[in-house]
């Protein structure tokens, strides 16, 4: 039977090439050769979800009222728990009904937001390197991504003054992400103040991704964008239970901030999905009530791993800064390598998988990302192998 050639929509071909296919092939080859591969490439916690959260889910799953379609904006009681947590953690007041929206993961909200705000041809400011969904969501909405380079000499903060006037005038939306994936950089409140001024002046909506605010080290506590005066007039912040509570598989997150932006995103969602399983939202309430304790426990684990990995990488001569938050380490590759060749060498000679920096955008070239999602003994093993591979 001859089937007619079938063409997918143009928007799919506009996505950047998927750089991880080759790495995945090499990883599978190594596994097939019998290599005990150490995977430090994926930002997915290896620590299990705390037991009280699982018990809360089990209880809520037995409740028939939770078996029906949820409201797309989320349960009132979950949104109240979010507002309580924002008050406790950041000193930010939120109206649960109009300024909080439940999401089926921050990825879902980020991917859908441009559909709510961006018309074809509008510019969206996105960081480079970055979590890939800012770009994908922009392209799906017909928007034009404009990359703001994040460079080491600028502490991986975008230089707003370098954005050309013509771009500022056409920009509708700006994505920022601190604590940052993949660089591990953090933003001071002062930077958020600058962003509010810039966004106010050019009428740009800001979407700050605060997914990693609860994984931080050395006593540092990352702020919320909404702590900056006027921030709630220009934008929203995303937060996720995924990384904070080791719940990546559960799909639960939220957006908070400017009410008409929250409402626009709710409208898109109500036409595309029917909200997050209510039992998962009930478990999320339990999680948020334990945020301080769980965050302190996780951060302590990651800090120990960070110290081990950073120490070992420096010993073999890599140039790397110790992150103050996130579970990522972002070293420069050694002389004579680029991101791709260093990643290939690590897989082939040491059985270690990490992520090439250029997979996050062209400014990521020359870096690799290690995720601290393996325990200290695996990290020590990885470092021993790395030292002999580079010797």
Ligand X SMILES: *Cc1c(COP(=O)(O)O)cnc(C)c1O
Query: How far apart (Å, rounded) are the C-alpha atoms in residues 365 and 191?
Result: 25
Q: Residues near 54 by Cβ (< 8 Å), separated by ≥ 6?
A: 283
- The interface mask with ligand X, positions 117-146, x = CB under 6 A, is --------------x---------------
Q: Residues near 173 by Cβ (< 8 Å), separated by ≥ 6?
A: 113, 114, 117, 118, 122, 124, 125, 138, 143, 204, 205, 206, 207
User: CB of residue 107 vs ligand X: minimum separation in angstroms?
Assistant: 3
Pick 198 or 360: Cβ nearer ligand X: 360
Query: How far apart (Å, rounded) are the C-alpha atoms in residues 173 and 388?
Result: 47
Query: How far apart (Å, rounded) are the C-alpha atoms in residues 136 and 15?
Result: 6
Answer for which of 79, 89, 107, 266 binds ligand X (CB under 6 A) is 107
Under the binding rule (CB under 6 A), the answer on residue 330 touching ligand X is: no
Pick 250 or 342: Cβ nearer ligand X: 250
Pick 242 or 358: Cβ nearer ligand X: 242
Under the binding rule (CB under 6 A), the answer on residue 214 touching ligand X is: no
Stretch (H or E) spanning 264? helix 259-272
Answer for which of 209, 214, 282, 363 binds ligand X (CB under 6 A) is 209
Under the binding rule (CB under 6 A), the answer on residue 40 touching ligand X is: no
- The interface mask with ligand X, positions 232-271, x = CB under 6 A, is --------x-xx----x----x------------------
User: CB of residue 108 vs ligand X: minimum separation in angstroms?
Assistant: 6
* Residue 321 and residue 156 in contact, taking contact as beta carbons nearer than 8 Å: no
User: CB of residue 243 vs ligand X: minimum separation in angstroms?
Assistant: 6
Query: How far apart (Å, rounded) are the C-alpha atoms in residues 166 and 190?
Result: 25
Query: How far apart (Å, rounded) are the C-alpha atoms in residues 74 and 13?
Result: 34
Under the binding rule (CB under 6 A), the answer on residue 72 touching ligand X is: no
Token digits for 80? 């109240």
Q: Which residues bind ligand X (CB under 6 A)?
A: 43, 105-107, 131, 177, 181, 209, 211, 240, 242-243, 248, 253
């Amino acid at each position: 039977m001859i089937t007619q050639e079938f063409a997918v929509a143009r928007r799919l071909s506009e996505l950047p090439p998927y750089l991880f296919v080759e790495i995945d092939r090499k990883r599978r080859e190594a596994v097939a050769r019998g290599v005990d591969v150490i995977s430090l490439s994926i930002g997915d916690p290896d620590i299990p979800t705390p037991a009280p959260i699982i018990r809360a889910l089990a209880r809520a799953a037995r409740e028939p009222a939770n078996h029906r379609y949820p409201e797309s904006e989320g349960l009132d009681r979950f949104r109240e728990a979010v507002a309580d947590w924002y008050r406790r953690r950041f000193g930010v007041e939120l109206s649960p009904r109009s300024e909080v929206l439940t999401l089926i993961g921050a990825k879902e909200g980020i991917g859908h937001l441009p559909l709510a705000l961006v018309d074809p041809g509008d510019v969206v400011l996105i960081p480079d390197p970055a979590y890939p969904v800012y770009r994908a969501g922009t392209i799906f909405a017909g928007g034009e991504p404009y990359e703001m380079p994040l460079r080491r000499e600028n502490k991986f903060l975008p230089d707003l003054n370098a954005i050309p006037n013509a771009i500022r005038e056409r920009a509708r939306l700006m994505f920022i992400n601190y604590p940052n994936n993949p660089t591990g950089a953090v933003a001071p409140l002062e930077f958020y103040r600058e962003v509010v001024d810039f966004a106010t002046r050019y009428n740009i909506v800001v979407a700050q991704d605060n997914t990693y605010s609860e994984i931080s080290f050395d006593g540092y506590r990352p702020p919320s964008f909404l702590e900056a005066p006027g921030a709630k007039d220009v934008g929203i912040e995303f937060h996720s239970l995924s990384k904070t509570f080791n719940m990546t598989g559960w799909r639960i997150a939220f957006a908070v901030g400017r009410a008409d932006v929250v409402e626009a995103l709710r409208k898109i969602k109500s036409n595309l999905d029917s909200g997050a399983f209510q039992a998962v939202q009930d478990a999320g309430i339990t999680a948020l009530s334990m945020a301080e304790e769980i965050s302190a426990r996780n951060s302590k684990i990651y800090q120990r791993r960070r110290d081990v990995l950073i120490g070992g990488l420096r010993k073999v001569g890599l140039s790397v800064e110790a992150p103050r938050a996130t579970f990522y380490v972002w070293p420069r590759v050694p002389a004579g390598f680029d991101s791709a060749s260093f990643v290939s060498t690590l897989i082939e000679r040491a059985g270690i998988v990490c992520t090439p920096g250029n997979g996050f955008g062209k400014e990521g070239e020359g870096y690799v990302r290690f995720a601290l999602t393996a325990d200290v003994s695996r990290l020590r093993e990885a470092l021993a192998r790395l030292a002999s591979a580079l010797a």
